[in-house]
Amino acid sequence: MTTKKTNIEFYRWTENVWKSPEKDWRKAETITCGIDIGSVSSQAVIFTDDELFCYSSTRTGSNSPDSAQKALTMALDGTGMNPEDIQFYVGTGYGRINIPMANKIVTEISCHARGANFMGGPTVRTILDMGGQDLKGVHCDENGKVTNFLMNDKCAAGTGRGMEVMAELLQVPIIDVGSLSLDVDKEPPPVSSTCVVFAKSEAVGLLRSGWTKNMVLAAYCAAMAHRVVGLLERIGIEEDFVITGGIAKNTGIVTRIEQELGVKAKPLKPDPQIAGAVGAAVFARALLLKSRKTD
């Protein structure tokens, strides 16, 4: 299959940085940081006491230590805070074993539950994490403690990487995929192929037969949503239900998951993609306070 070569990388999503406008970090009793090195994206989240102070979300580079450093530098930029000012670091995510500044590592399952609990409140019971390379369904209690989980990490179908491949094929910026997929007169049947490689060929076939890009995106989003729902049904849905990870920003997927489940997802503010790092920063604060108590 020959596709037109362009220099635009359609899979690229927007990297972002946020910092609290009014907080003075120098007055904080605890300054903790959570770093989540995922397979596709990396986040650094800094807490002053029990509040979010700043964060960054960037693309994971070629190795974990550099990605961690980059995310941290981005988050701290313009805050006047230096890496030494941070009193405790927790690393998580796919690349967690290789984060040099981490005082401790915690699995991403625990961190997503804790982060969802922080952002969504104590009523959150079911978390769907849709990451770059895996899908996780997690149950937690009112403290954000994991009670059960299920994951798929053998196949890229239904993951962020799969969506990137499709965005690249259709030459659609990935951030527009969701809204375009909802802009169809009638919902087309989902693509039938599980494998991303096959789904790509199936998409080309659909374009050949006269489907519009939006229809193909709709069919792909529907297939992805269906796959995710299959996983969620195995673990069970208990409300509140939240979605974390980069795909949570794709309205085309989220809307279709909600329709198929008949359950609304509670939105996570400020950013569902930082849930893992938020959880890590929460763990870091707890660990720091515990160590101060024993000293």
Partner 1 sequence: MITAGIDMGAQTVKVVILSDGQIIGSSVSMVGFDLLESAQKTLDEAINTAGISRDDIKRITATGSGRKSITIADNISTEISCDAKGATWLLPSVRTVIDIGAEEARAVSCDETGKVLDFVKNDKCAAGVGAFVDSMSRALELTAPEMIDLSFKSTKDVQVNVTCVVFAESEVVSLIHAKTEKADIAHAIHDAIATRTTSMTRRIPLNNEVALVGGVANNAAVLAAMNKHLGVEVVIPENPQFVGALGAAVLAAT
Residue numbers at the binding site for partner 1 (CB under 8 A): 1-2, 39, 62-63, 133, 153-156, 159, 161-162, 165, 194-198, 201, 204, 207-208
> Nearer Cβ to partner 1, position 31 or 169?
169
Alpha-carbon separation of residue 108 from 9, 105, 294 (angstroms): 28, 9, 27
Are 282 and 90 in contact by the 8 Å Cβ rule? The answer is: no
Cβ at position 197, least distance to partner 1 in Å: 4
Helix 108-120 vs helix 275-294: crossing angle, to nearest 10: 100
> Nearer Cβ to partner 1, position 166 or 218?
166
C-alpha neighbours within 13 Å on the C-beta side of residue 227? 26
> Nearer Cβ to partner 1, position 93 or 144?
93
Peptide bond into 83 cis (omega under 30): no
Cβ at position 161, least distance to partner 1 in Å: 5
- Tokens linked to 148: 């059960």
Cβ at position 169, least distance to partner 1 in Å: 13
> Nearer Cβ to partner 1, position 161 or 256?
161
> Nearer Cβ to partner 1, position 17 or 150?
150
Cβ at position 1, least distance to partner 1 in Å: 6
CA distance between the termini of the chain: 64
CA torsion, ordered 254, 255, 259, 260, to nearest 10 deg = -40
Facing residues of 41 across strands?
Answer: 59
CA 228 to chain centre: 14
Cβ at position 193, least distance to partner 1 in Å: 8
> Nearer Cβ to partner 1, position 113 or 163?
163
Q: Which of 148, 95, 132, 123 is nearest to 280 (CA)?
A: 95
C-alpha 106/C-alpha 67 separation (Å) is 18
> Nearer Cβ to partner 1, position 208 or 293?
208
Q: Residue 210 gets which letter from DSSP?
A: T
Cβ at position 213, least distance to partner 1 in Å: 14
Cβ at position 157, least distance to partner 1 in Å: 8
- Tokens linked to 211: 């489907």
Residues 6+ apart with CB under 8 A from 84: none
Cβ at position 42, least distance to partner 1 in Å: 14
Q: Residue 123 gets which letter from DSSP?
A: T
> Nearer Cβ to partner 1, position 104 or 226?
226
